[in-house]
Amino acid sequence: MSTRFGSLGNLMKKQDLILNAVCLLFATGFVVMALSNVRWAGNFFSIDSLFFTLVSLLLAGIFMVIPLLWAHENGVLKNLFAAEGDDVPAEPVPVHFAGTTKLFLAILGLLLVLTVVEVLLAYIQVPLVLMLTILVGLSLIKAALILAYFMHLRYERMSLVYTLIPMLVICICLLFIFFPDGFRQLGLRVYR
């Protein structure tokens, strides 16, 4: 009756996948541990080392049982690539995607021009502080272009912009408070 429940139904499958992934991860981890032991143990044929290898492999084997059983039951590979003729899941919200190829090409062009300008600055050897200022400014413009057009933020609700951007901007601005301390360090250093 709803994709939400439908998706919960799919999630049961996903749950299997997750369980298997977790088991595989652990199994791989233990195999890696055993292998690393072989590589770095020094004397491999010591009691410690053999015990460690044995326990690791045993644990890896135990963790492999669940994925193997599952793969046996389901024929995983057959399932993975079956693409044709499947039900396409419905969109949660109606699709709307504004912007034309021309617009995106224009944005790409603008980004390329700005990049070239940045590189040119490096070529003509602008003093560092001025360079930094211009570079940060240009990068912000580029970031804004990517956000607005490529990431489509310009066509989303303004409320989304108001939600996301201020928290990011505030936090990043706050990080700048580190710098007074950074400059202070310069005067503190005894060892050069």
Partner 1 sequence: MSTHAHAAEPLVADDWSGGTFPYHIGHRKLGMWLFIVSDALTFSALLIGYSYVRVSSDAWPAPFAFYPSIIFSTVMTLCLLASSFTMVMAVSASARRDRRRARRWIGATMLGGLTFLALHIYEWLHLINDYGLKPFSLPAEWLARWPQASPLFGATFFAITGLHMFHVLTGVIYLGYIALRIRRKTHEDVEISGLYWHFVDLVWMFVFPMIYLLSVDFHPPGH
Partner 2 sequence: MEEATTPIEPSAATAPQVVAAEADPHAGAHPPHGHHGPPTGFIRKYIFSIDHKVIGIQYLLLAIFAAFVGMFMSVLMRLNLTWPGRKWTILETIFPLGAPGGVMTPEFYLSLVTMHGTIMVFFVLTTAPQGGFGNYFLPIQVGAEDMAFPVLNMLSFWVTLVGLVVLIAAIFVEGSTIIGNTDFVNNFLGGGGTGTLGPIGGWTGYPPLSALGKIAGPGQGAGATLWITSIAIFCVASLLGALNFITTLLNMRTRGMTLMRMPLTCWSWFTTAILALLAFPVLLAAGVLLLLDRHAGTSFFIPGGLVFSDAVLANKGGSPILWQHLFWFFGHPEVYIAILPGMGATSHILSTFARKPVFGYRAMVFAMFAIGLLGFFVWGHHMFISGMDPRTSIAFSVLTLSIGVPSAIKTFNWLGTLWGAKIRFTSPMMFAIGFVSLFVAGGITGLVLGQTSLDLFIHDGYFVLAHFHLVMGVAAIFGMFAGVYFWFPKMFGRMMSERLGQLHFWPTFIGVYGIFVPMHIMGIVGMPRRYASFQEYDFLRPLDPLVLLVTVAAIVTAAAQFIFLFNFIWSIFKGERASGNPWEATTLEWVTPTTPPPHDNFGGHLPTVYRGPYEFAVPDAPEDYILQTTPDAGEENVAAGAGHATAGQGVQGSSGNGHNGQH
Q: Which residues bind partner 1 (CB under 8 A)?
A: 81, 83-84, 86, 88-93, 95-97, 99, 101, 104-105, 107-108, 111-112, 115-116, 118-119, 121-123, 125, 128, 131-132, 135-136, 138-139, 142-143, 146-147, 149-152, 156-157, 159-160, 163-164, 167-168, 171-172, 175-176, 178-179, 181-186, 189, 192
11 vs 38, beta carbon nearer partner 1 = 11
19 vs 71, beta carbon nearer partner 2 = 19
Calpha distance 189→192 (Å, rounded): 7
**Binding range to partner 2, per CB under 8 A, among 74-82, 91-99, 104-112, 144-152:** 91-99
User: In the bound complex, what is the minimum distance in angstroms from residue 32's beta carbon to partner 2?
Assistant: 10
DSSP string, 82-113: --TTPPPPPPSS-------HHHHHHHHHHHHH
Q: Which residue has the tokens 């084997």?
A: 61
Helix and strand counts by DSSP (H, E) for the chain: 7, 0
Which option in partner 1, partner 2, none does residue 147 bind, with CB closer than 5 to 8 A by kind? partner 1
Number of other CB atoms surrounding residue 93 within 10 Å: 5
Q: In this structure, what DSSP letter does residue 150 have?
A: I
By the 8 A CB rule, do 149 and 99 touch? yes
Task: Tell me the chain's radius of gyration from C-alpha atoms.
Answer: 28
Q: Where do runs of H (alpha helix) occur along 124-157?
A: 128-145
Which stretches of the chain bind partner 2, using CB under 8 A?
1-6, 8-9, 11-12, 14-15, 18-19, 22, 33, 36-37, 40-42, 48-49, 52, 88, 90-95, 167, 170-171, 174-175, 177-178, 180-182, 184-185, 188-192
